[in-house]
Amino acid sequence: MNDASKDALRSNRLSGMLFLLGTEQVRALLDQQESGRKRWKVSNLHLLWVIVGFGLFANKSYRNLFRLTTGVMAPPTRAAICVARKRLSAETLRQIHDAVVGWIATPKKCPQAFYKGLRLIGIDGTLLDCFDSDANREQFHRPTNQSGHGAFPKLRLVTLCELGSRVLQRSVIGSYHDCERVLAEKLFPQLSPNCLLLGDRHFGVAPIICRLINDKVPFLIRVKKGHIFRVEERLA
């Protein structure tokens, strides 16, 4: 990818972020975080842009990212932005996420996200390193083996992804010791009979399959070779 393509990609990411996080619905949620004290240096909206912007522009500094997202050529000091980050609670960010993120593909604009009228949804899990603090070690735990503890606490993330658009619509976070399949069931209320859920063989277990059948959610999940099923139809 040449420099021009990279600049265009960054511009598209930035414009998309500012469009989604500048709606009246987002502003209303942020207003609930305001106290009687007036915020002069960093507004909650600008603060939100900076926090989300770090996921899109990881190589930018605090002040450069503030300048990029807000257009303010004389941004606050790094210390002021660091202090301001503590204002927005995790619950507020979760509410904003749930208000903004949803299924976006349409059969006309993104036909690859559908199969025979069903919206293609993938489910999978992964492990992510956390900052090595006492609170994170207690909450998420560190992996262990015969040599001792791992370097970092790890959280287990299970997410639903709209295939085609690649939107991570909903996610659930657990500790290193939580079962991926148990966490996955917390995401099933997001599914409907209009979806086709795709999963790997780790999700091919009775509790998940029975839950999906009861919810009338179509699914296509690989299973391990050791499972024995009655053959209903042998396909070509």
Written as one letter, the residue type at 176 is Y
Full pLDDT tens readout for the chain, 236 residues: 566 666 566 677 778 777 778 778 888 888 776 655 555 577 888 888 888 888 888 788 888 888 888 888 888 888 888 888 888 888 888 888 888 888 989 999 999 999 999 999 999 999 999 999 999 999 999 988 877 787 899 999 999 999 998 989 999 999 999 999 999 999 999 999 999 999 998 898 889 999 999 999 999 999 888 888 888 999 89
Rounded to whole angstroms, what are the CA distances from 30 to 5, 25, 110?
34, 9, 32
Q: Which own/partner contact pairs does 104-111 have at CB distance under 8 Å and 24+ positions apart?
A: 104/162, 104/165, 104/167, 105/162, 105/164, 105/165, 105/167, 110/164, 110/165, 111/164
DSSP category for residue 57 = -
Three-state DSSP state, 118: strand
Structure tokens at 34: 């305001």
| Residues in CB range of 52: below 8 A, 6 or more apart | 17, 21
Which of 83, 13, 106 is closest to 54 using CA atoms? Answer: 13
Which of 227, 170, 178 is closest to 195 using CA atoms? Answer: 170
Number of C-alpha atoms within 13 angstroms, CB side, residue 204? Answer: 14
Rounded to whole angstroms, what are the CA distances from 36 to 39, 53, 101?
9, 27, 30
